Amino acid sequence: MKPLEYPEPVKHLILQLKQLPGIGPKSAERITVWLLRDRAESVMQSIAQSLMLADQEVGECGVCGFFATSTGCAICDRSGRDSSVLCVVEQATDILPLEKSGAFQGYYHSLRGRISPLENVGPADIRIDALMSRLRQGAFAEVILALNSDVEGEATANYLMELMAPLGIHVTRLAQGLPAGGGLESADELTLLRALEGRRSM
């Protein structure tokens, strides 16, 4: 006797959801069952519509890499930004927290990833050409590399540093050290090493 299975459309939806980041087989099944049970509010229809709307309307800004719509890019189109500083981030989502900090008023360049040989991501895959051509136009006096402080982030930063050296632009990196409110007892050795190396006189 063939074992009992979910109907095809249910299995198919579980498979589709399983490919999302952070969603395993169990979560995909739980979400599917929840969706099928709470039909009254037609959650499935509205999620499906949001997906299609986002797919149709949202693109990548050709200049900075942030999300853009047909009405333009909320960063590049905004007047009053500081056109002498460019902040390079790994991905578009890194831009919002930097904006929220209120400490940066310049322009952004999202790389769409970082160099990672293990994941087959090389320099050609992460919008470095676009970055270099922006810099060669000569308006930026400083480039801030706001990359993650893990191995791939460091490697990408070093690669960019070498590439930018001939341009004579001032290149800086985000400070590393204790997180705000973080105690010494919860900091790992590398963080403490960096915090010591980067110590400042009071």
Question: By CB under 8 A, is residue 165 in contact with its own copies?
Answer: no
Q: In this chain, which stretch among 12-20, 119-127, 152-160, 180-188 interacts with its own copies, using CB under 8 A?
A: 12-20
CB of residue 60 to its own copies, shortest distance in Å: 8
Site membership for its own copies, residue 30 (CB under 8 A)? yes
Near its own copies by CB under 8 A: residue from 25, 42, 132, 165: 42
Sequence length of the chain is: 202
Residue 148 interacting with its own copies (CB under 8 A): no
For residues 168-197, which are near its own copies according to CB under 8 A?
A: none
Q: Does 48 bind its own copies (CB under 8 A)?
A: yes
Q: Residue 75 or residue 164: which is nearer to its own copies going by CB?
A: 75
Touching its own copies, residues 85-104 (CB under 8 A): 91-93, 95-96, 99-100
Residues 6+ apart with CB under 8 A from 109: 64, 65, 86, 87, 88, 89, 127, 130, 131, 134
Nearer to its own copies, 19 or 137 (CB): 19
Within 66-85, which residues bind its own copies (CB under 8 A)? 67-69, 74-75, 80
Q: Binding residues for its own copies, per CB under 8 A?
A: 1, 3-10, 12-13, 15-17, 19-23, 27, 29-37, 39, 42-55, 57-58, 60, 67-69, 74-75, 80, 91-93, 95-96, 99-100, 112
